[in-house]
Chains A and B, each alone.
Chain A
Amino acid sequence: KAGVTQTPRYLIKTRGQQVTLSCSPISGHRSVSWYQQTPGQGLQFLFEYFSETQRNKGNFPGRFSGRQFSNSRSEMNVSTLELGDSALYLCASSLFDRNTGELFFGEGSRLTVL
């Protein structure tokens, strides 16, 4: 059974650009969550989606947005990139219809903003 797949794995952008990250959950999983991981702040919650609906949102500015498609795949977008957006962005999927905390994480997309 394939795990959570995130693309791209690595990317480099410059300030002011925008970026879109993609996540394919484990087959049958309908809940997808996104986290930002940095050395200083640890794992910070961005969003949670279930059945194409955003059920929860973290304390990030409006430059961070996301969506989920009918096949449960999810994307997140960051516009007007800032240096501080450099981080590992992790997607996680869950089997259950609510966030039970039993998450399966992808390998992440490492974003570097120059």
Chain B
Amino acid sequence: QKEVEQNSGPLSVPEGAIASLNCTYSDRVSQSFFWYRQYSGKSPELIMSIYSNGDKEDGRFTAQLNKASQYVSLLIRDSQPSDSATYLCAVEGGATNKLIFGTGTLLAVQP
């Protein structure tokens, strides 16, 4: 079982729709959770962090965390073509205290 799992996609949504990206992790004692966005040919950039159960909103982005289910998600409202990128889930802490990335979900927003 991979430590951090994501559906590779591509996830295709129409412009203006809500994009829902999901991530599960295996280390139950993980403490911190992050979403990075990586455009093609570019390096990853941090867009959201979440540390406690529930929702955290930042503009059009909402991160959701459910530690009991070991599940993290990212919602993008009013999706724009400029949101088309690979979204990487990262989990830190736990037994190894390393930051572990999922393989990413490719999001394609259709105009």
Q: Do A and B come from one complex?
A: yes
Query: Does B92 contact A42, Cβ atoms closer than 8 Å?
Result: no
Using known A-B contacts A100-B92, A101-B34, determine if residue A45 contacts B98 with beta carbons closer than 8 Å.
yes
Query: Does A42 contact B104, Cβ atoms closer than 8 Å?
Result: yes
How far is the CB of B41 from the nearest CB of chain A, in Å?
9
Interface range on chain A: under 10, 10 to 19, 20 to 34, or 35 or more? Answer: 20 to 34
Chain A stretch 87-105: residues in CB contact (< 8 A) with chain B:
90, 99-105
Query: Does A48 contact B98, Cβ atoms closer than 8 Å?
Result: yes
Q: Which residues of B contact A103 (CB under 8 A)?
A: 44, 46, 99
Question: Hey, what's the 0/1 contact readout for B38-58 against A, CB within 8 Å counting as 1?
Answer: 000011111001000000000
- Whether A25 sits at the interface, judged by CB under 8 Å, is no
Query: Does B101 contact A99, Cβ atoms closer than 8 Å?
Result: no
Query: Does B98 contact A58, Cβ atoms closer than 8 Å?
Result: yes
Question: Hey, what's the 0/1 contact readout for B74-111 against A, CB within 8 Å counting as 1?
Answer: 00000000000000101010001111111110000000
Q: Give A residues with C-beta under 8 Å from B.
A: 33, 35, 41-45, 48, 56, 58, 90, 99-108
Q: Give B residues with C-beta under 8 Å from A.
A: 32-34, 42-46, 49, 88, 90, 92, 96-104
Complex A-B: 21 CB contacts under 8 Å: A41-B103, A42-B88, A42-B102, A42-B103, A43-B44, A43-B88, A45-B99, A45-B100, A48-B98, A58-B98, A90-B44, A99-B98, A101-B90, A101-B99, A102-B34, A103-B46, A103-B99, A104-B46, A105-B45, A106-B43, A107-B43
